[in-house]
Chains A and B, each alone.
Chain A
Amino acid sequence: MSTYYSEDHEWISVDGDVATVGITDYAQSQLGDVVFVELPEAGKNLSKGDEAAVVESVKAASEVYAPVDGEVVEANAALVDEPAKVNEDPQGAAWFIKIKLSNASQLEELMDEAAYKAYVDGL
């Protein structure tokens, strides 16, 4: 299983042709207390850059964009009832969606952990 990162602070963990997508610890720390998460329905087709989800912190609403093309196979229903999980475990239990990849070559455009860390350090 490999994990990739986007410049929009999403992580994508790939297992076969299914990718689990969430937001990074850096992203949650910037957002502050998360109070609401809006997720797409299973079956929705996303193109890279489409709005995939919305995260609302106390301060503001932020969009989460699809880092790759694919079909949503599952959304994390637990976040609807417990949005604060995004602050507690953003890169684990608080994943957002699972996507069936339709263009795996797009993963090559994303960063690995070391590159993402350097990217965040440079912000």
Chain B
Amino acid sequence: MATSDNDNLLETPLADLHKELGARMVPFAGYSMPVQYPSGIIAEHTHTRESAGLFDVSHMGQAFLVGPDHETTAKALEKLVPSEIQGLKNGRQRYTVLLNEEGGIIDDLMVSRSVSADDDGRLFLVVNAARKDVDYEVIARNLPDNVRLEVIEDRALIALQGPKAAEVMAAHAPKAADLAFMGASSLEFDGIDCHVSRSGYTGEDGYEISVKAGAAEAIARALLADDRVKPIGLGARDSLRLESGLCLYGHDLDETTSPVEGAITFVLQKRRREAGDFPGANRILSELSGGTKRIRVGMKLEGRAPAREGAEIRNAKGETVGTVTSGGFAPTVGAPIAMGYVAPEFAKVGTDLVLVVRGRELPAKVVDMPFVEQRYYRKPKS
């Protein structure tokens, strides 16, 4: 990826397009990225929920884990993650976490297995931009001799998200319609070879399209030529994922938080729990049976003032019981919302809490997450 003029920031293959679209570019994880376009964050957020939004997520890390066969490659990754990777089917994707020896989360990531049985033994990883170097070092250091990490530097990643994403995509890549949520395939988009998964991080139906850097702009322009699609920046990406109850690494998850504290125990599949054969298993299994000192919850504020990362959480008696890790105005909810960690006795839905902002106590209630219903596409059972 190219380097921009200022501050040694990296640019994605869509940098010129962002500027042409009037994006406000900001530094993010070492990249110059669009935080918003002229229509603004709320309009972009709402457009994604109602129609379809195009996101440049090329800053994220893409890599292959390559071994002689699926079992060997999957076993190598399972040494670092608590999820069922051996049992992942061809063309299926899974959300998981890299764990340190203390059961803390090094990063959250997506893993998909090759579509074709002819090309098996290959897992495709998508990791957070800010964690690439850490992740790759940890993975590479722990691999057996017959499995290697191939970092992909020459591909862009474009997300198309929203209830109209599937209709829009069908005009360019008819095969994409065959995918269900967390399905992945290699297919052609207007004749361009892509790796497409039906996933994303907005809570909406949609796709992530991995493509050679040189072809990324052609795909983005083809999608933006459709009236139903608008470009969406990082600002709305953040408000969309927050409303969908999805964690942002470095804020809602870090190397001290376990999957149990982070309330993402769905990354622990049954076989792995029973075997206890992942880093930090002692801590994680004891937390599963005996509980934790803190747990991630969703909160809805009563007034209009937002509470942001770092705000203190108090109970009704005024005692400190936790900290906000993400928060802001939620355009679809129409109110400020937050996520944070609280002592388990305050995690029950309906619990009254107080969030402290600039010395003021803002009343809030623990609510179920997601704050906005997730609308992923799952195939009807036939």
Which A residues contact B (CB, under 8 angstroms)?
32-33, 35-36, 38, 54, 56-61, 80, 83, 87
Contacts and interface: CB of A to CB of B under 8 A. Distances in A.
A63 to B, nearest CB: 9
B304 A83 contact: yes
A58 B41 contact: yes
24 contacts: A32-B235, A33-B40, A33-B41, A33-B42, A33-B43, A35-B42, A35-B306, A35-B336, A36-B329, A38-B358, A54-B358, A56-B329, A57-B41, A58-B41, A58-B235, A58-B329, A59-B35, A59-B235, A59-B328, A60-B308, A61-B306, A61-B308, A80-B304, A87-B40
Contact of B42 (A38, A58, A61): A58
Contact of B329 (A35, A38, A54, A87): A35
Given A56-B329, A58-B235, A36 B42 contact: no
A36 B358 CA distance: 14
- What are the 5 tightest A-B residue pairs by CB atom distance, in nearest-first order? A35-B329, A58-B41, A33-B42, A36-B304, A36-B305
Contacts of B325: none
Interface string B1-32: 00000000000000000000000000000000
**Interface of chain B: mostly helix, strand, loop or mixed:** mixed
A80 B303 CA distance: 10
Of A36, A80, A83, which is in contact with the most chain B CB atoms at under 10 Å from its CB?
Answer: A36
Interface string B148-183: 000000000000000000000000000000000000
B211 to A, nearest CB: 29
Contact of A56 (B36, B235, B239, B305): B305
A61 B304 CA distance: 13
Interface string B34-71: 01100011110000000000000000000000000000
Nearest to B357: A61
Given A38-B305, A59-B35, 8 more contacts: A33-B42, A33-B43, A35-B304, A35-B336, A59-B41, A60-B308, A61-B308, A87-B40
A51 to B, nearest CB: 9
A87 to B, nearest CB: 8
Contacts of A61: 306, 308
A78 to B, nearest CB: 13
A36 B330 CA distance: 12
Contacts of B43: 33
Interface string B327-340: 01101000010000
A59 B328 CA distance: 8
Nearest to B43: A33
A10 to B, nearest CB: 19
A28 to B, nearest CB: 11
Nearest to B335: A35
A33 B308 CA distance: 16
Residue with the greatest number of chain B CB neighbours at <10 A, chosen from A35, A56, A61, A83 = A35
Given A33-B40, A38-B358, A58 B239 contact: yes
B306 A56 contact: yes
A60 B35 CA distance: 12
Contacts of B336: 35-36
A7 to B, nearest CB: 21
A83 B43 CA distance: 15
B40 A32 contact: yes
Nearest to B236: A58
Contacts of A60: 308
Indicate the member of B36, B239, B329, B331 with the most A CB atoms within 10 Å: B329
